[in-house]
């Protein structure tokens, strides 16, 4: 059941990105938006590099190889989801509309669903995740 819900969360995130792209609400010529999106892409790349070549799964399955707590994971537990949401919301801020906001909400909902499922599954596989989670934030330090 958790795998099916996590796949739905993944599909929500992908669908939101596609929807924003098709509505031309994902990219902007604004230097500020471009800078924020480049920063989001750098965070994404840093997280993927830190995570090494572990495979990505559409379902929120914890991977073998131990708990990753270095790189951006030292500060936030879900830097890839954070990067995706920051990238999308920068575009939404530049193309403010009710539909863009709905896509942004769908993106956030998908990310939060996956976060809670992943945390449940990772805690089962790596019991030391509880101590790690106690000293890091999920996405945004001092907020969530």
pLDDT at 11: 93
pLDDT at 20: 96
Let me know if residue 25 belongs to a domain.
yes
Report if residue 79 sits inside a domain. yes
Computed over every residue of the chain, the mean pLDDT equals 89
Mean pLDDT on 23-49: 95
Within-domain flag for 7: yes
Rounded Cα–Cα distance for residues 76 and 65 (Å): 19
Least confident of 24-33, 56-65, 81-90, 124-133: 56-65
Q: How many domains, in total, are found in the chain?
A: 1
Residue 46 domain flag? yes
Residue 100 above 80 pLDDT?
Answer: yes
pTM: 0.89
Alpha helices in 1-144 (DSSP H): 2-22, 31-51, 79-94, 98-125, 129-134
What's the pLDDT at 141? 73
Residue 89 confidence (pLDDT) above 90: yes
Q: Tell me which residue range forms the domain holding 127.
A: 2-53+64-134
Any domain includes 129? yes
* Residue range 96-109: mean pLDDT, rounded: 95
Comparing CA positions, the residue from 116, 42, 38 lying closest to residue 78 is 116
Is residue 78 included in any domain, yes or no? yes
In a domain, 58, yes or no: no
Residue 86 lies in a domain: yes
**CB within 8 Å of 46: residues ≥ 6 apart:** 71, 72, 79
């Amino acid at each position: 059941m958790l795998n099916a819900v996590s796949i739905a969360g993944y599909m929500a995130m992908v669908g939101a990105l596609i929807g924003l792209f098709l509505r031309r609400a994902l990219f902007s010529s604004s230097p500020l938006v471009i800078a924020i999106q480049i920063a989001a892409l750098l965070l994404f790349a840093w997280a993927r590099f830190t995570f090494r070549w572990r495979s990505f799964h559409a379902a929120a399955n914890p991977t073998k190889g131990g708990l990753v707590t270095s790189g951006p994971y030292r500060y936030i537990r879900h830097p890839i989801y954070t990067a995706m949401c920051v990238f999308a919301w920068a575009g939404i801020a530049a193309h403010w509309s009710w539909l863009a906001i709905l896509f942004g909400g769908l993106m956030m909902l998908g990310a939060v669903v996956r976060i809670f499922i992943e945390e449940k599954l990772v805690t089962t596989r790596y019991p030391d995740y509880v101590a790690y989670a106690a000293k890091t934030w999920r996405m945004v330090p001092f907020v969530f």
